[in-house]
Chains A and B, each alone.
Chain A
Amino acid sequence: GEDVEQSLFLSVREGDSSVINCTYTDSSSTYLYWYKQEPGAGLQLLTYIFSNMDMKQDQRLTVLLNKKDKHLSLRIADTQTGDSAIYFCAESPSGTGGFKTIFGAGTRLFVKA
């Protein structure tokens, strides 16, 4: 079935790197996503990776994809207090036409000053 799993909490010190991990089940997803939710707000797309890529870098963000293990990770370099939020891993299985996005439970990132 369709399922996305991720750890619920991560705590880091300001300036350190954060790594948020995720596993997914449906290998048909063409894109995999990371969404960010700040307090009191809706989810906002942070970055995404095409399934035929192993890595994507976007400023402080690095996404790594291991298709064999169905493992996705998000690395945030030089983590700042403003990065404190909930981060959702997500996939869009092609069996749904790619329009139904399956979200993980979200990882709550705490950044200590």
Chain B
Amino acid sequence: DAGVIQSPRHEVTEMGQEVTLRCKPISGHDYLFWYRQTMMRGLELLIYFNNNVPIDDSGMPEDRFSAKMPNASFSTLKIQPSEPRDSAVYFCASSFRDPPRNTQYFGPGTRLTVL
């Protein structure tokens, strides 16, 4: 398997622009997680899905952030409008129902820079 695929790997945009990050989970995995990593705040869970349904979005910082999972093989995280403080590395991770181990498999991340 190719692992979790994220695109783009790097994104540079200007404040106020819309940004869309994409993720393809590992085939057969039914959980998908979006994280944000910064030096100041470490690794933060933004939202996670089970069978394409959002389960917990309490980590989504503001209404400017939205996430969708239209099918089992694709998810997006959208920021509109983007702000400089959104600059971070965004990770997507997936796992399958293997309780209680539930190992998460991370993608390589998207490094977002908002100018």
Main secondary structure of the interface of A (DSSP, over half): loop
- Which chain A residues border B91 with CB–CB below 8 Å? 42-43
> Which of B43, B45, B109 counts the most chain A CB atoms within 10 A?
B43
Residue contact A98 to B99, C-beta cutoff 8 Å: yes
A97 CA / B108 CA spacing, docked (Å) = 26
A2 to chain B, nearest CB (A): 11
Contact residues, B38-76 vs A (CB, 8 A): 42-43, 45, 48, 50, 55-56
Residue contact B108 to A41, C-beta cutoff 8 Å: yes
**Number of residue pairs spanning A and B whose beta carbons lie under 8 angstroms apart:** 54
Q: How many residues of B contact A (CB 8 A)?
A: 23
A interface with B by C-beta (< 8 Å) = 30-31, 33, 40-45, 48, 88, 92, 94, 96-101, 103-106
Cβ-closest chain A residue relative to B97: A99
- Which chain A residues border B100 with CB–CB below 8 Å? 30-31, 92, 94, 98
Q: Decide yes or no whether B101 CB sits under 8 A from chain A.
A: yes
Q: Decide yes or no whether B4 CB sits under 8 A from chain A.
A: yes
Residue contact A45 to B104, C-beta cutoff 8 Å: yes
- Which chain B residues border A105 with CB–CB below 8 Å? 42-43
Residue contact A42 to B109, C-beta cutoff 8 Å: yes
The answer, among B31, B42, B43, B109, for a CB contact under 8 Å with A99, is B31
